[in-house]
Homo-oligomer: A and B are copies of this chain.
């Protein structure tokens, strides 16, 4: 059994605790949380600590805290020469303190507190400073997921930017669509099949092949009607900028 300690109590930490606790090849020996009560629904009391000095021995320490806190937390660990990784898409491997062996264990997914997550299809993006450590990370990742990738810090940086576009920004467009529906007494559910199909489509077609709509058709009449319809100045700006951007791509 591979002994693992999780450090952190946020969304990703909690989903990892659940998934690793369920794995038969992993012994989740402990979790560290500044506020132990955040994890009390997931682990027995004796497995949670808020004291750095009481962190137990393990094969792997997974730091899953906010990006700004990774450096400090890794510096606070009261031991040396062990394998310490973070789970951040946007932080370099070098942000970890030099006294331990470094790595990255980045599950590329959007984690919400109130939504169960199946790790099986989640791409696990791994990086380690040496080959043995990479193999251990791979072993752990494979107990969770079928999709394991070696992704360098540089690649991860671009992956994370892409992820912001295709997840965070996309969800914000859902939010705008939802608001327009609400304001006009239309159940947002009417748009669900369209949203699902738009996401499904790019498994078979490239996004460029899948593009449809008034911007692509250069249907200026419809575009004008839509801009007239939108009263929110912010949404108008987004509509104009994305319409223009679709037409730029088309010209290429």
Contact = CB atoms under 8 A, between A and B. Distances in A.
Interface of A: 11, 66-68, 90, 108-112, 114-115, 121-123, 125, 147, 149, 151, 154-155, 157-178, 180-181, 183-186, 190-217, 219, 221-222, 225-226, 229-230, 234-235, 237-239, 241-242, 244-246, 248-249
Q: How many copies does the complex hold?
A: 2
A66 B245 contact: no
A216 B161 CA distance: 15
Given A122-B193, A238-B245, A167 B198 contact: yes
A145 to B, nearest CB: 9
Nearest to A245: B234
Given A198-B199, A226-B164, A238-B245, A171 B207 contact: yes
Contact of A191 (B166, B226, B235): B166
B166 A177 contact: yes
